[in-house]
């Protein structure tokens, strides 16, 4: 017969409680600065993936945690999945965005900010991040 053993250290107990409080308080919708994934890039079609990966590299150089959703799901499933994960920013890429070198930006709270310039969008996200703001967009 084997007996399960739980190893517990007091210092980790307080950290566990703190993390539990944070998760419960924000209900998983963390502020930008502590969100595990800050931006999800959602290409509409396979032909937009190259541009999405280029943007991903640029954003990672900017210090952001970003992923490209290049799964074979439908576009609406990609949006729904990002909203369920409570990712703060969704960048939608279609033909218009690739041609104009811009992004269509949506926030996890449902706001659609339309087509935005990449550099000004990155600066705005970085500003929210650096100020440790609870707001997604100022």
Walk along the chain (138 residues) and give the pLDDT tens digit of each residue.
677 766 666 677 778 888 888 989 999 899 999 999 999 999 999 999 999 999 999 999 989 999 999 999 999 999 999 999 999 999 999 999 999 999 999 999 989 999 999 999 999 999 999 999 999 887
What is the span of the domain harbouring residue 112? 32-130
- Tell me whether residue 27 is in a domain: no
**Any domain includes 12:** no
Cβ pair 71, 82 in contact under 8 A: no
pTM tops 0.75, yes or no:
yes
Residue 61 counted as domain residue: yes
Residue 9 lies in a domain: no
Q: Supply the pLDDT for residue 6.
A: 61
The structural domain count of the chain equals 1
Q: How far apart are CA 15 and CA 60, in angstroms?
A: 28
Q: Is 10 within the bounds of a domain?
A: no
Whether 100 is covered by a domain: the verdict is yes
Domain for residue 7, yes or no?
no
Give pLDDT, residue 13: 74
pLDDT at 138: 75
Classify residue 50: in a domain, yes or no: yes
Bridge partner list, 39: 66, 89
Which CATH number goes with the domain that contains 120? 3.40.50.800
């Amino acid at each position: 017969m084997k007996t399960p053993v739980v190893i517990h250290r007091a210092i980790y107990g307080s950290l566990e409680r703190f993390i539990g409080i944070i998760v419960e308080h924000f209900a998983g919708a963390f502020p930008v600065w502590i969100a595990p994934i800050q931006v999800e890039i959602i290409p509409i079609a396979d032909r937009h993936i190259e541009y999405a990966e280029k943007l991903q590299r640029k954003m990672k150089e900017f210090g952001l945690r970003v992923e490209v959703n290049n799964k074979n799901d439908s576009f609406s499933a990609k949006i729904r999945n990002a909203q369920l994960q409570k990712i703060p920013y969704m960048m939608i890429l279609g033909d218009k965005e690739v041609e104009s070198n811009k992004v269509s930006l949506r926030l996890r709270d449902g706001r659609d900010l339309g087509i935005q310039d990449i550099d000004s969008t990155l600066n705005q996200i970085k500003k929210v991040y650096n100020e440790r703001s609870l707001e997604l967009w100022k």
